[in-house]
Structure 1
Amino acid sequence: MNRPRSVLVVDDDAHILEVLEMRLTSMGFAVTATVDAEAALAALGTRGFDAALFDLRMDPIDGIALTRAAHARQPRLPVLIMTAHGTIENAVEAIKEGAFDFLTKPFVTEELRGKLARAVADRRWARDRNLLRTVGETLASAASMDRVLSAVAEGTMEATETERTVVFLRESDRLVPKASAGTSSTPLDRLAPAAEAAIARRGSVTMGGAEGRATLAVPLMVAGTPEGALVVENPSHVVATDDDLDLLRVFASQGAVALGNARELSRLRSGALAALGRVASQVAHELNNPLGGLALYARLLEDRFKTAGDEEGVQLTHKVGRAVKHLADLVTDITAYGRPPELKREPTSLNALIEECLSLVQDRVVDKEIRVVSKLAPDVGTVLADARELKKVLLNLFVNALEAMEPHGTLTIRTQRADERTIEASVEDTGCGIDDETRARMFDLFFTTKANGTGLGMPIARSVVDRHGGRLDIDSEPGVGTRVRIELPRQ
């Protein structure tokens, strides 16, 4: 059942206040009536209202000043100004100051009912329409899934006037919070049971929480399967309505569309990249022999120029040799991506591997005067992994981070036990950051933003982590920096 719409009424005439309270109650509204403007402001700070009626002429705070103060606490609250016939011009001025409409005294019941109903309805539909338009535009812009889910969380919080909104997605055998809006003292893991219940039920659920809070959850259905849930936590003074649940379902459907689109795009892209990798691997194989011959000829020419004392010729053959080596390295990378070697797993200390890789890039660290912060947890232990392959990943991440930073930047490397079965490592820089468009294509084969890049480093890094049964995620903000996080199973 829907709760009654709540109305706050303020008038310094106790008789008018009493009459209004009776009329509004008979219309089905839950009325809070007071002659004290300060008491009204106190009420606005502790609970939500669907509409308010303020008398224009009051002391010491008039209706216009009270409207401004009310909107400072509840910006979308529709306020109707009550006025006598002789002060309609002032009431019109009040509308310019943010009031929704005005009512003339003495009141006509149908006018009172009609304007209040319109105020409540216009407020909800104007608000919801704008929020849904924002989410829809974000979805249509081909933005990243993270950005769409963030828009869903923020839009839901505003539309339902809740305390916090969280989008949970199922990954492996657990629910992971992927986007949130608002703040609350409740830990995120305590909202997960509501998400689990909505997924299990395949429908909306309402659960009680701490301090009288209520938690609502709606599943994100992708192709008929619940893949996550949209969860909102209401403060104790906000009572959810059927309209709120309907709106929650609409926003959840937007999140589900974003998730479905992202997965379909990933599937299509993976197939295309796999095919491209196979073709590139065949081409690379055909290039190996000619490149080996070119490298040999370059060395022979260099020896002849040295014998002849031709320093310019020596420099030219150096350039040829470097170009050939670059092509050979590219061929090696393409082959590694298209035909990855079989993993040779053995117990490997992730911390020791990180220290080894850091030593290999020490010259770059010194040249740029980079500050390296190592926060390697001593209790991470070992992972069952191919150390040679993981070394490629770490070196790629370190070099990318160092190249992204200006001199005197900070490189932070962390390791920790995510849980009993998983070890987490992260590489964080204070570089230029990555925009959404670039981040969406970072794992595309041959995509690069570097002048001399091959566009193979990150695809190979993800491929290695995937083959270890782990995951690689990137968080970045342009102008702030980038954090790459790797999760690896211990066994």
Structure 2
Amino acid sequence: MNKKQIRILYVDDDPDDFFLVEAFLKKIDDPVYTIVHAFSFEEAQRRILERFDIFLVDYRLGKTTGLELIKEIRSRQAHAAVILLTGMAVGNLDREALQLGASDYLVKGQFDAATLDRTLRFAYRDSQIKENLDLVGEKFRSIFERASDPFLLIDGDSLILEVNPSSIAKFEFEEKVLTQSKLPFFTELIEEQFLKDQLIEKLQNKFEIIDFEATLINKSRNTFRGLVNIAKQNANTFQVLIKDLSAIKAKEEEEHNLKKFSSTGRIARLLAHEVKNPLTTIVLSADQLQMELPEEVLKESGDLIEVIQRNCQRINQLVTQLLDSTRFSELDISSQSINSLLDEALDTVKDRIEMKKIKIIKDYDPAVCNIEVDPEKVKIALINLIVNAVEATDRNDGKMKLSTAVKGKLCRIEIEDNGTGISKENLERLFEPFFTSKSTGTGLGLTNTQNIIFSHGGSIRVKSEVGRGTTFIINFKLNQTPEEPR
């Protein structure tokens, strides 16, 4: 069985004391101590660049003291065990040494091999515990800082002790709150009063863990639905982890829309194949009849052949439009300002907006990065959404709000109106081909819009409430910076 090897640097200008300590250590079988002698402060300074487990430091080191060397050791090896040696007990020397980071204190001539061994082992054990605790603390700090979800520490009175960067972004805390002595109470972020009361009671009773759903409020008074997990860290500190259920739902909706769009595309291609082949046969047959039938028969049949030809052409156009609206097309990509594209789309339909006297509110992020898109196609998508908002607004106080912002690595566009809104059953079918609640139109505008956005690797979703309006939310990936390679 391998014995534990422990390296010691002994710092003392008296060789006799060194030989005595070395003799004590030779009597110890396990662990195996390897001791190296440094005769001066200067030599010790050079030696501490090496790796030692324990430092035995004499108080008297020429013009300096062992206390100065303890500071030097701590700056180089934060967790090493340091034991101060002196020829006699001097006032509060032991307390001063411990404050500077010494593990223990021994008086020369007042210890034997067993005492020395016990002191070394305890000091070494304590140094290992401190090192492990620091490593665990660093891991926790890394998890805390890098967590993508809001992560907070609170006390038993619900006072927020610390927040991670995700919490700052989500709840719009100011950076300086981290340096202030008092932060908001966590219960102030919860909308439901009964949940606040329950949480305060559980905190006072020092519960172990709790999960609950709540409506949470940020500084701007915006709300989101969250799953809150609170676990006890120690006697009066609790860890709070928050999952944004709204974000999870939005992600699931985006994935569902993409799958639905892919499925629609497959059906469209199958339909085009099954319809266009017999349709071509019908058109050719009608053309042949028109050429071969006698003049008198054509007169008797009236415009029946033309009706067949005209409706075949209409069916062909619809199938082609369906294919175009569900098939990814080639893109002419360039770097574009989303703010400029929105303004250009607005300008295209300004006559409709002015005719309905709709008030336009712009909330653009002036610092939003450019995005890599096909500008003409994206403008078509934006125009479709703006026209939809215009047509949904029939009231005298019609408003449309256009917003841009950076959300993580995404550029977000929101087009919001205060129109009639969309019923839940219609909302689920909104992007389906040929679905429309209008008396005119093919019902392919939003399908085409969705296709354009998906072709760019973006996403689109919609929130609506009958009688209160509709919001379309579009996300595009931001341009990659030189520091963030693709």
Whether TM exceeds 0.5 here: the answer is: no
Normalising by structure 2, report the TM-score.
0.41
